[in-house]
Structure 1
Amino acid sequence: MKALEIRDRENWLNLAAERTAGDRLSFQVQYWGLNPQHYDNPLHKHSFYEACYVRSGEGIYQDHNTEYPLMPNTLLLSKPDIQHQIRSRSGLDLWYVAFELDEPNSAPEAAAHYRELASSPWCVRYGIGETPTALIWRALVEQARGYDAQNAPLLSSTAHALLLSLCGAFTEGSDAEPALPPHKLSAHSMRSAVLYIRDNLSADLTVTDVARYMHLSSRSLSRLFQENLQVSCQAYIQREKLKRAAHLIRHSDLGFSEIAERAGYASVHYFTRVFTKTYGIPPGKFRSSR
């Protein structure tokens, strides 16, 4: 879809399907969205549900402290008050809707049943391409193509059917495939992070830089280092900086300002203070002791 057409459909959805109502359940929609190039968003949470349909692309979805791989025809459900994040290097074609129950206009028994969605063990479903949720969502977006006042009721009705279908999509009886095992950070990931740090020490490297390169959250990167090396990523970076500096002091005649720069320290005075604190003697005496 062209950018202008995408915005038009998104606008019509937000106009005609801001609130949906049925015989027993009604919903308040916070927003509808169609983003053909979604990359990263910060770790955050909502007071409402947010469902996302991955049409194409690959990435990672973090729900609380668990990470799941993203691929085409994946459905996500971010539940109220749960920290979550989407990350992608190549970009995702993502459709999404944020909503909550309109309790005063819903039947109490039906509302109680829908609230059970918050306690579902599922937050990710795979292979949803031909399930009711995906079929309804595609029909809804297609209906928004030719929106006018006359088909507004149909658009609202289809939107309501989609929100109802989400309950079934995240129950044991769903036609979608269950979530894959949580994403495990491999030994290969650990090696990639270590090599990146060693190759980029002179760039005044930070944990955020490494996390961005690895396409992980800073929290996940720290967990990777703690589990594999029993040190924080920050501590590992600092250790590698000092190891490089000590090697250059012992095996070169470079001045301390250049050594500090090559080891990733912007200030030779700060480098000298850190080195002295770690090794117990200043860089000059360390060199003379070789």
Structure 2
Amino acid sequence: MSAAYGGNEQALIDPTVLHPFLLFAQRYAFYPNESSFERIAYMNAIIIVETGEGHLHMDNRDYPMKAGTLVYIPAGKMHRWRAAQSEPMIHRTAYFDWNPRQRPFVSEGQFFHILSLHSAPLSVYMDEEPAIRIEPITKIDNLPLWLSYHNRFLTMPGRIGGADMREAIRLRGEFQVFLSLFLSNTSKDASNNGDPRIKELLKLVASQAEIEEQELVQYAEQIGLKRSRFYALFREETGLSPKHYMTRRKLQRIKCDLRQSDVTITQIAEKYGYSSIHVLSKNFRKHIGLTPSEYRRQSRM
């Protein structure tokens, strides 16, 4: 199952086209034994445990929380918090999109979907994940440094994106400095691990408007990687097979076209090499959970 609720797969965003957008950031103190509902968020979350203890239930595991724990929860990931009785947690939170999205939300609570409700979350409002492998749980050493960075973009409760243009720009700038620190500590791509040849191939993929799996295999052969070795290294680096990776990348581009342009779905099918609109619709629904028409309609509500 992917990060998305119900197994619908999110298309990966090329890191070179990211424009991280801060929605809101707060300091939240839990009550003793406080427990949240099992929920998902439409946006991504970075959480620092400032003080106290508790647990995070995610990925069918219970993660113990204590001061200095750094947590990343991608959009669509099911999770539930539980605070300790004696020393309940205090969280520093930052909720954001990797790329700005339009949603008809006016309050912070609307960005969360409680899984006990009968209605399903709307995938069209779900942020998309970047092609970056981020550790969900890490331990930070210099907690005061992290808190000082977080203090610079704390927002008033109920205020989304900043009160005016100047404040919004300042908050986003401060958040992006914090995000850079976060990625340097949690992103596997930030380390020196992994085969540099795969990293170069991923850069090639990011630089191309369209590239097919077979072309990628041919490039790998040109730099001395046999097919079986290439597939193993690619999965190790990205967590996906080349075919799966390229499919998700193509779907992300199709979703952008559906949201941001008025070209017909037939034209989109032709643009991305589908033999017919029916083949595109079947593939899109399989991975996204909606037909292209449904996705376009929901994205413009």
TM-score by length of 2: 0.39
Q: Which has the higher helix share?
A: 1
Q: Find the structure with the greater CA-based Rg.
A: 1
